[in-house]
């Protein structure tokens, strides 16, 4: 039987009742900065860096008061630190000049910030403001949705569009959180624990009962 979004939501909500954003934040600005830093970095590392960072910088003006080099040093361990420091400062400049020094609360405006794509915008809007304007499609979402047979593409935009059509609006953000939780705990990039997965009977990528199609999907 083909796996549906409803099945995924109901099974994973049972399995991960506390699924949520795993970045630590107290203000929308902190969440935005943390989400920018989380690109190609673990949430754990970002949360470690965030402790000192958010004690030092509390407003967009704070991030603009220092040189880019100083901010680079503060975020160095998150990787791609030059690009990320530049993105944070340019975003802060835009917020200061165009949005009254605040994180904007609409997708269209969020996308004008440097280093902010639909995934980052959807996370910040949904988590900080309860504004649901997209589904954050990250690497776990891409892998899981392909393995489960719901999509047949790795293109982030196409996947988001399809899942927005197939998923109740109220569950857009939760779907993403649940897939991240399952992608970390059971169906990882390098290991599929299919015998402990609620989808093993119907998943086209299940490795139980000798049904592996690992070579076809390209997610090893």
Note the residues at the interface with ligand SF4 (CB under 6 A). 147-148, 186-187, 192-194, 197, 199-200, 203, 205-207
- Quote the CA–CA distance of 33 and 132 in Å, as a whole number: 19
Closest CB to ligand SF4 among residues 176, 205: 205
Q: Please answer whether residues 20 and 12 qualify as being in contact, where contact means their C-beta atoms are separated by less than 8 angstroms.
A: no
Pick 37 or 187: Cβ nearer ligand SF4 = 187
Both tokens assigned to 79 = 């990787």
Nearer to ligand SF4, 13 or 76 (CB): 13
DSSP single-letter state for residue 7: H
As measured in angstroms, the least distance from the Cβ of 200 to ligand SF4 is 4
Residue of 136, 143, 137 whose CA lies nearest to 186: 143
Query: In whole angstroms, what is the distance from residue 169 CA to residue 176 CA?
Result: 12
Report the nearest approach of ligand SF4 to the CB of residue 145 (Å).
Answer: 10
Minimum separation from the CB atom of position 186 to ligand SF4 (A): 5
Considering beta carbons, is residue 84 or 143 the nearer one to ligand SF4?
143
Q: Which is nearer to ligand SF4, 74 or 138 (CB)?
A: 138
Which residue is associated with the tokens 């059509």?
165
Exposed e or buried b for every residue in 4-40, given b needs 16+ CB within 10 A?
Answer: ebeebbebbeebbeebebebbbeebbbbbbbbbbbbe
Q: For residue 215, what are its two tokens?
A: 């070579």
Tell me 125's DSSP state: I
Q: Residue 112 or residue 209: which is nearer to ligand SF4 going by CB?
A: 209
Least Å distance, CB 183 to ligand SF4, is 9
CB of 8 to ligand SF4, least distance (A): 9
Task: Count CB neighbours of 189 within 10 A.
Answer: 12
Lookup result for tokens 């549906």: 4
Name the minimum Å distance from CB 139 to ligand SF4.
14
């Amino acid at each position: 039987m083909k796996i549906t979004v409803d099945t995924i939501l109901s099974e994973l909500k049972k399995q991960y009742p506390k699924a949520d954003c795993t970045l630590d934040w107290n203000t929308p600005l902190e969440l935005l900065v943390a989400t920018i830093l989380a690109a190609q970095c673990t949430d754990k590392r970002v949360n470690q860096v965030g402790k000192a960072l958010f004690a030092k910088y509390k407003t967009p003006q704070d991030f603009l008061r220092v040189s880019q080099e100083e901010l680079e040093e503060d975020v160095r361990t998150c990787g791609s630190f030059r690009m990320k420091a530049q993105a944070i400062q340019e975003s802060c400049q835009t917020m200061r000049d165009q949005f009254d020094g605040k994180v904007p609360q609409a997708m269209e405006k969020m996308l004008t910030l440097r280093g902010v794509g639909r995934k980052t915008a959807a996370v910040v809007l949904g988590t900080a403001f309860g504004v649901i304007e997209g589904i954050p499609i990250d690497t776990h979402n891409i892998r899981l949705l392909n393995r489960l047979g719901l999509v047949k593409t790795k293109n982030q935009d196409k996947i988001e569009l399809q899942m927005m059509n197939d998923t109740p609006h109220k569950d857009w953000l939760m779907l993403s959180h649940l897939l991240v939780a399952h992608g970390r705990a059971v169906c990882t990039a390098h290991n599929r624990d299919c015998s402990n997965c609620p989808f093993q009977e119907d998943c086209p990528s299940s490795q139980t009962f000798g049904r592996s199609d690992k070579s076809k999907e390209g997610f090893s």
